[in-house]
Each structure stands twice: as C-alpha cells, then as structure tokens.
Amino acid sequence: MTKLVMTVDDSRTMRDMLRHTLSEAGYRVVQAVDGVHGLEVLAGESPDVIVTDINMPRMDGFGFIEGVRRSDRHRATPILVLTTESDAEKKNRARRSGATGWIVKPFNPVKLVEAVRRVAA
C-alpha cells in the first residue's frame, strides 16, 4: 500500500518541490498551506508521515505540532520539521512539542526521502 505524506508549508514553491520529490519516490502527498489548514486537512486524512515548516502565518509549526499531538488519532504520527531555522533552541522546542526529526532547507531530495522512509517504516 502506498504511504501518505502530508506537507505543511506556506511557500507554494516549497510545496511544489515537496510534492514532486515525494511523488517521484512513490508516496501519495496531501498538502496544507499553514498550521490551521494542516489541522483541517488532518481531520480527513491519516498520513504515515507529516513534514512541516515552522515559520507560517495563522499558526506556526510549533502550534501545528502541538495540535497534532493532542489528537489521539495522530499522536504517534512521525513529524519531520523542514525549515530554514537551525537554532538549537528552536530544535529543542520542536522536539518538546513532539517533532520526530529536523531537516534544514534547502533540502537535499535524496536525504529528504531517506528521512521520510526511516520514520515511516
């Protein structure tokens, strides 16, 4: 069965790059434009992995991760943070919020797919 990856990013270019990279690797992809939209999309989907940005309007990635973790249905879903941020405190905050891993933009497509495969297993 094809695994589903949800991406949450306010940049259309980044969403397009993620969709292309993950689709080419054989994943189905659903997308959201920010944390609020992400939680709305999650109500009807059960992704195997979530990839989220941190800096977004309406609800940032930290709020989104916390919202995902409050849901019994998605509490154990792996969440990879994909961001331009590399600050140790932000990484720690993401981890405390419930993030599984951290990838810095711009991403290497091969490494992104490897990270998704590793946490989706």
Percent of the chain with pLDDT over 90: 89
What is the per-residue pLDDT for 86? Answer: 82
Bridge pairing between strands 28-32 and 79-83: unpaired
What is the per-residue pLDDT for 60? Answer: 96
What is the per-residue pLDDT for 121? Answer: 72
Q: Mean pLDDT in each 10-residue stretch from start to end of the chain (121 residues)?
A: 95 97 97 97 96 96 96 94 89 94 92 95 72
Report the CATH fold assignment for 28-109. Rossmann fold (3.40.50)
Query: 52 near 7, Cβ under 8 Å?
Result: yes
